[in-house]
Homo-oligomer: A and B are copies of this chain.
Amino acid sequence: MSEPSSPSAARRKPARITSAQFGKLLRENLPMMADWGVAVESIGHGTAVLSLPENPRFLRPGETVSGPVLMGLADVAVYAALLGAIGPVPLAVTSNLTINFLRRPGPGAIRAEAQILKLGRRLATGEVRLYADSSAEMAAHVIASYVIPDEKSGG
């Protein structure tokens, strides 16, 4: 297998996309996420840290960032971590995603820490931990799989 599948091994390899390249791809391809102000803090080989700014539009009753916003941020975070490992493959698509909401994050900024747990040739699975910026406790946990299109699966 030419692709590393270990997160620890992966982190020692350089990212195949820069934060700036991913930011550009986001603006061109996922304008809604760019509109939300999703920012890339860092991308590694199979890892990514993204942040979402505070915005009253994101809130739901209870003065807390809504579920759909957390899901959107998490989905993009896995995508960033995946492209960090395989390079710019815009057509990689989410196959499935499970989110568990653990604690209401409140109304502020959100930080998403994503890591690819398994990078196969055709399917990649990653995990995201979401935190309110003011807290060390996880607000939500996400696990998601992405299908990697054939033509790019060799990286």
A residues with a Cβ closer than 8 A to B are: 5-6, 8, 29-33, 35, 57-58, 60-62, 66-69, 71-72, 75-76, 90-91, 93-104, 117-118, 122-123, 125, 127, 136-138, 141, 143, 145, 147
B143:A98 contact, CB within 8 angstroms: yes
| Contact A32:B57 (CB < 8 A) given known A71-B97, A96-B101, A100-B143 | yes
Assembly of this chain: how many copies?
4
Question: Measured between alpha carbons, how far is A49 from B71 in the docked complex, in Å?
Answer: 21
Nearest 3 CB-CB pairings of A with B: A68-B72, A102-B118, A61-B90
Q: Which residue of B lies closest to A6 (CB)?
A: B137
Contact B97 A96 (CB under 8 A): no
Q: Could you tell me if A75 and B69 are in contact, using CB atoms closer than 8 angstroms?
A: no
**Complex contact B136–A117 (CB within 8 A):** no
Q: A66-B32, A75-B68 are in contact. Are A147 and B123 (CB under 8 A)?
A: yes
A30: B residues at CB distance < 8 A: 60-61, 66
